[in-house]
Amino acid sequence: MWHNEAMSPLPRKDVFCSRQQLEAKKLHRLNAMFAEVLPANCFYREKFSGCTTPVQSFEQFANFPCTIKSELVGSEDTVSARNRTWSDQKYVRFHQTSGTSGHPLQVWDTQDDWNWWMTCWKSIYSRAELQPGEPVFVAASFGPYIGFWSAFEGAVASGGRAISSGGLSSVARLELLRKTESKVLVATPTYALHLAEVAREQGYETSTSAIRCVLVAGEPGGSLEAVRQRISSAWGADVLDHAGATEIGPWGAGWLEHSGLEVLEDWFHPEFLDISTGRPAREGESAELVLTTLGRNGCPVIRYRTGDVVHPVWPTEQEVEAGRSPRVWLKGGILGRSDDMLVVRGVNVFPSAVENIIRGFPEVLEYRLIVNRAENLDVLSIEIEDRLSAPDRVAQELHVRLGLRVDVTNVSVGTLPRFEGKARRVIDNRKKF
């Protein structure tokens, strides 16, 4: 067990008194899942055919083979992921991933699975301090992607009053938000900022709205200090980060008082692997997050390599005794994805690190990264919409904080694309070489 980087205790007493009790609860749930899933799930029965269950410890479990996303994707003619456990009749919901990192993965959930989703969301909304009947405004279109559907129904399950804004323009959403006197806004970090920008153009000051909490997900921004502070300032509200995935579930949430994410270990078992070797990461290292679902038996993922790079920190026994949660904390939230890391003149850079710097300039409304390949190295250039038309100051800050000289150019306000869902700000020309 790692015990490093002491933090100020979070101001809540956890239901688990110790790390050991939490581990015992997870191990019980893992073995209960194996007992129900393995007899019926052809994918995992075959994958774990050489493994012994029930498992006696998580050290034993760490010897099971990992699951990667490409294994779960069936042929283009099929409509479900390969890790589905039961026959069609037991499933009541269909969703799919966005396909940003390959062929979309189609995932089905049973009613029990969906109830599990709601249990996880109750934990997230409790961190947002949602009150009975409080209006929750979900700023998204409702396509086949699970995130906003689960956030909407999670608000209902948590006792809130969920408000849908699917199909509305940003201006119409702002009008509805005002009329409903919504208290919690659910959006991607990018869209939360864009909505505030549109409001200013319409003469509406969002910092005086009824919104008291902005719950963000879909991008790393909720745990990037510059982005977090910018959203908080724009809306005059607290910011709560959340992380999840269609094929995994709503696995992480922060606190109103802290940037970063806590793995919801009641229902997810996390592991951390060295990005280069795939072996267990050493203490203090950034690592790839591996997750196992402990309750989604209709379409489970077991030892699933997420591709997310994180910096895990465990509390000491003294911190837990003082009131801090025993769950693992991800300092800085999701730092990036293992396949997104850029090597610019020998320096490793994640796009999220660039965003954290650029968002520190309130006059910069939007930006875009362009990556090219020259002499086996990644070359990074950046376009910004800067009200001051002074890109040199941004380039200087990037140089100071990243140790890189980056070509930064200014473009006219409104020329770069805006995003409602996950932002796609990186144009990767390396694939052309």
pLDDT tens column, 309-336: 999 999 888 888 888 889 999 999 998 8
What is the pLDDT averaged over residues 205-215? 95
Residues near 336 by Cβ (< 8 Å), separated by ≥ 6? 220, 308, 309, 350, 351, 352, 353
What is the pLDDT averaged over residues 230-247? 95
Residue 359, token pair as written in the block: 């968002």
Residue pair 267/252 in contact (Cβ under 8 Å)? The answer is: no
pLDDT of residue 122: 97
pLDDT of residue 3: 38
Cα–Cα distances in Å, from 305 out to 65, 247, 290? 11, 11, 5
Q: Confirm or reject CATH 3.30.300.30 for domain 342-432, answering yes or no.
A: yes
Domains in the chain: boundaries: 1-335, 342-432
Strands, E, within 14-140: which ranges? Answer: 91-96, 106-110, 135-138
Q: Confirm or reject CATH 3.30.230.10 for domain 1-335, answering yes or no.
A: no
Residue 384, token pair as written in the block: 């910004």
- Residue 308 CA to residue 293 CA, distance in Å, equals 16
pLDDT tens column, 370-417: 888 776 677 889 999 999 999 999 999 998 888 888 899 999 998 998
Residues near 145 by Cβ (< 8 Å), separated by ≥ 6? 95, 96, 97, 98, 246, 421
Chain centre distance of CA 155: 18
Instruction: Name which of 190, 135, 116 is nearest 351 in CA terms.
Output: 190
